[in-house]
Amino acid sequence: MAECTNRKKNLIDCTCTYMSCDKRGLCCECIAYHRSLDQLPGCLFPPEAERTYDRSVRKYIEAMQDRV
C-alpha cells in the first residue's frame, strides 16, 4: 500500500490503545483490516469498551446501549 501522508496527523487523534498495531495511524488499512474480520475499528468504541480489544459489532452495540 502507498505511504500515508496523513499518518502523523492520524496518530494524534488515534484512540486505539493497541500500541503495537502496525496499522496505527493508517486509518484506511485499519478499517479494511477490521472490516475483513466483520469488526469495527477501536476508534469507534467508547474508551472503556475499546480497552477490551473486542471489536465485534455485538460489543459495539452493547457499549453504545450502555451510554444511552
Note whether residue 48 is domain-resident. yes
Query: The pTM is what?
Result: 0.83
Note whether residue 22 is domain-resident. no
Per-residue pLDDT of the chain (68 residues; tens, 9 = 90+): 568 999 999 999 999 999 999 999 999 999 999 999 999 999 999 999 999 999 999 999 999 997 77
Residue 1 confidence (pLDDT): 58
Note whether residue 65 is domain-resident. yes
| Cell triple for 37 | 474480520
**Which residue segment(s) compose the domain that 53 sits in?**
42-68
Note whether residue 53 is domain-resident. yes
Note whether residue 66 is domain-resident. yes
Residue 57 confidence (pLDDT): 96
Note whether residue 17 is domain-resident. no
Reduced to 3 states (helix: H, G, I; strand: E, B; else coil), residue 13 is helix
Number of domains the chain contains: 1
Note whether residue 33 is domain-resident. no
Note whether residue 58 is domain-resident. yes
